Amino acid sequence: MALSSGRVQPARPGDPTRVGPYRIVGRLGSGGMGTVHAGLDAAGARVAVKVVNASYAEDAEFRARFRREVQLSARVQGPWLIPLLAADPDAEAPWLATAYVPGPTLDQHLAAHGPLTGSTLYAFAVGTAQALAAVHAAGVVHRDVKPQNVILNPAGPRVLDFGIAHATDGTSVTRTGVMTGTPGWISPEHYRTGTVGPAGDMFAWGTLVAYAATSRLPFGTGAPDAVAYRVMSAAPDLGGLPGELRGTVEEALAKSPEERITADAAAQQCARLLSAQATQILAADTGPAPTTVGTVVAAWQVPAAEDPAWRVPPAPARRRALTVLVAAAVIGAVVGGAAALDTDSRAGTGAASKGADTAPPRPSGKPAPHSASAVPRGGGSTPPEDPRSIRIPTDPLAGIPRPAYTRADDDSQPAPEEWRASTRAGTPQEQDTEQAISRHMASMLATKNLDFMEPTVTFNLRAQTVIVTGGPVPQLPDNYQDVFRRAGEMAACAALAHRLRETPTTWPYGRFSIHWKLSDGDVEAPAIGFGRSTDGCFSEIAGQWHADELGMATAQIPSSDRAEIRVADAAVKAVTATWNAGAAEINEVPMSARDGISLGFDPVENAAYVWTGDPDNRFGNRAAQSNLAGAVEKAVCDRLMAEFADNRSWRYTRWTLAVLDPTAGEGQFIRSGTCTP
HSE (side-chain half, CA atoms, 13 Å) at 570: 15
Single-letter code of the amino acid located at 284:
A
User: Contact 632/610 with Cβ under 8 angstroms?
Assistant: yes
Q: Are strands 465-470 and 511-516 parallel, antiparallel or unpaired?
A: parallel
H or E element at residue 439: helix 428-446
Compute the residue count for the chain: 677
Whether 661 is catalytic:
no
- Which of 429, 582, 442, 611 is CA-nearest to residue 504? 429
Under 8 Å CB-to-CB from 199, ≥6 apart: which residues?
187, 189, 257, 258, 260
CA of 169: how far to CAs of 31, 35, 142, 564, in Å? 8, 11, 12, 43
CA dist 160 and 84 (Å) reads 10
Distance CA 670, CA 605 (A): 18
Long-range contacts of 185-189 (CB under 8 A, 24+ apart): 185/144, 185/145, 185/146, 186/228, 186/231, 187/231, 187/257, 188/231, 188/232, 188/255, 189/257
Give the torsion through C-alpha atoms of 176, 181, 183, 189, to 10 deg: -70
Which uninterrupted H or E stretch holds 444? helix 428-446
Helix (H, G, I), strand (E, B) or coil at 30: strand
Q: Which amino acid is at 126?
A: V
Residue 672: name the closest of 579, 595, 610, 596 by CA.
Answer: 610
User: Three-class SS of residue 11?
Assistant: coil
Which is the catalytic residue, given 41, 90, 144, 411? 144
Q: Which residues contact 177 (CB under 8 A, 6 or more apart)?
A: none
- State the angle between helix axes of 263-282 and 198-214 in degrees (0 to 180), rounded to the nearest 10: 30
Task: Please give the angle made by the CA atoms of 460, 466 and 467, to the nearest 5 degrees.
Answer: 95
Rounded Cα–Cα distance for residues 261 and 241 (Å): 18
d(CA 536, CA 531): 9
Residue type, 3: L
Q: How far apart are CA 439 and CA 394, in angstroms?
A: 22
Does residue 568 contact residue 611 with C-beta atoms inside 8 Å? no
**Distance from C-alpha of 600 to C-alpha of 554, rounded to nearest angstrom:** 8
DSSP line for 170-213: TT----TT---S-TTS--HHHHHH---SHHHHHHHHHHHHHHHH
Give the number of other CB atoms < 10 A from CB of residue 292: 13
| Beta bridge partners of residue 658, listed in sequence order | 611, 669
Query: Long-range contacts made by residues 32-36, C-beta under 8 angstroms, separation at least 24?
Result: 32/170, 33/1, 33/168, 33/169, 33/170, 34/1, 34/168, 35/1, 36/1, 36/2, 36/3
**Neighbouring C-alpha atoms within 13 Å toward the C-beta of 400:** 19
Q: Which residues pair with 563 in a beta bridge?
A: none
Residues marked as catalytic: 144
